[in-house]
Amino acid sequence: MQSVRFSRSPLLSQRLPAWRQRLLLWLLLLAFSILVARSAYLQGFHNDFLGEKGRARYERVIDISATRGRVTDRHGDVLAVSTPVKSLWAIPEDVALTPAEARDLSKLIDVDLREMNHKLASERDFVYIKRQIPPELAERVAARKYGGIHFQDEYRRYYPAGDVTAHMLGFTGSEDAGQEGIELAFNSQLAGKTGSRRVIKDRRGNIVEDVESIRPPREGKDIVLALDGKIQFLAYRYLQQAISENRAKAGGIVVLDTQTGEILALANSPTYNPNNRQRLVGAQLRNRALTDTYEPGSTMKPFAIALALEEGKVRPETLIQTAPGKLTIGTATISDAHVHGLLTVSQVIQKSSNVGAAKIAGQMTPAEMWAMFNSLGFGSPLKLGFPGEVGGRLRPAKTWKPIEQATMSYGHGISVTLLQMAHAYQVFARNGDLLPLSLVRIDAPPPAGTSVFSAQTAREVRAMLELAVQNGGTAPLAQISGYRVAGKTGTSHKLEGGVYANKYVSSFVGFAPASDPRLIVAVMIDEPSGGKHYGGDVAAPVFAGVMAGALRSLGVAPDAPLAPLQIANAELVKEGI
């Protein structure tokens, strides 16, 4: 076979038809024209699309944090403030850390090495390595120039009073948003609104140029609480002391201004430090004064007797036979801690007779008693806007049995919160009317109160409550040198699984000066186990310590001789139910 060179191939000697050459030329020209036209259209007439795609590769809109508003007490002392901090972040694919550098960084910022390496090995575009570290620590990290580690400005909430105001203030989360307490209740006002600005960033996230401000941030508003820092500290200290001395499970205390309805102090135990919540448990978080209910015991007796006085059923001097210290209604028997015999209505309060209170309550209808309890705010939340607030338990009157009506007169079969009890005692401290409570300082005149009892009834019950605090009453340990005091003890068995257990809730609610009441203090001690359980032994001393300090702090003039207190003998104190 004779070989044929490629350059002399017969196929190459054949010419293509002329129309195919022209068609190919015109097709190429058409395609080129389309590309030119498209390019001119996009770049000259409709360049938004390309501009957006280009800007998306280097322009970013970033948020500008708004500084969270401060929380202060009524005197302007700061209780919560946001301080600037730094957060460490990275784009995992850009991080260039040697094993030694990784170990050094994890130790420096106190982060588990495996956890940090897991974050940096992820396929995410952005990870936080650690949030909210102090600026001085951030400076130390920056000085070591770890490859691919960046910083972000943030704010962290700081609470100068720590655990003293923990349950009142609550705390914020990592995003500086309220999680509990005042921080949550007033979050919309405190938080403000974030702003934004447009910047140019390189691929490592560094800002190259600040282009423009889109929306300036709106700073959060400051909140001025009704809280008095000095009185709050007194309440916290005396409550903690009582919990410790009586080996109690928990407790709470509330201080109210009778003239305005402002909450001057609110403390609970156990508590926590909102600045360090690493080992926080649920029991510490509970604001027991608003979220926990209990059967109030004998602190309810003044209300039943006030209703009887208001309806003209009894007078303060009316005699009630309480012997032999027991009263049987149906199959149940009501008992007194001590046999008292014939008592006046005033002495029923002074001696805290269950039998006397039950006999007086029996002169009213269930509907009348329910209406009175309801008008005092029992059975429904106080609507303070505080997270977790509950309303207690007040069953409809039509479901009451005779024994239940009797036991409600001395605080069994009904449940309340400590704040509800303090609020209700305004009717005796304010001549029969109730003011709404306030978490924030009131600068304008307070709203008019809602009348529940007549002024005469309130004064008569107030005189009875003074007797309860004097020698011969159930709470001589509530006396304060220089001030007339009025109040009532409460001691109730705890209900567990539908049965009353051998555990107690000890309480005391009172006000002073009795001649012109300025403050109400309510104290509740849960499960005291130090050998004492009566409200007069356990809760009344807390009241006395807090009330004495608070009255002097406010400059309230004494209304009694500044004579040494006569401490009641053990037998009298023993009656403190």
Catalytic residues: 298
Residue by residue, DSSP assigns 472-535 as TSS-GGG-BTTB--EEEEEEEEEEETTEEEEEEEEEEEEEE-TTS--EEEEEEEES--SS---H
357 closest CA partner among 374, 340, 371: 340
Residues 6+ apart with CB under 8 A from 25: none
Q: Which residues pair with 255 in a beta bridge?
A: 265, 521
Q: How far is residue 490's CA from residue 469's CA, in Å, rounded to a whole number?
A: 13
Tokens of 561: 């001789």
User: The tokens of 27 are what?
Assistant: 């097709």
Strands (E), 296-438: 319-321, 326-329, 332-335, 342-344, 433-434
For the residues of 62-129, what is the DSSP string, one character each?
EEEPPPPPPEE-TTS-EEEEEEEEEEEEE-GGG-B--HHHHHHHHHHHT--HHHHHHHHTS--S-EEE
Q: Name residues whose C-beta falls within 8 Å of residue 196's C-beta, 6 or more positions apart in sequence.
A: 61, 62, 63, 64, 213, 214, 215
Q: What is the DSSP string of 423-454?
A: HHTHHHHTTTEEPPPBSB---SPPPPPEE-S-
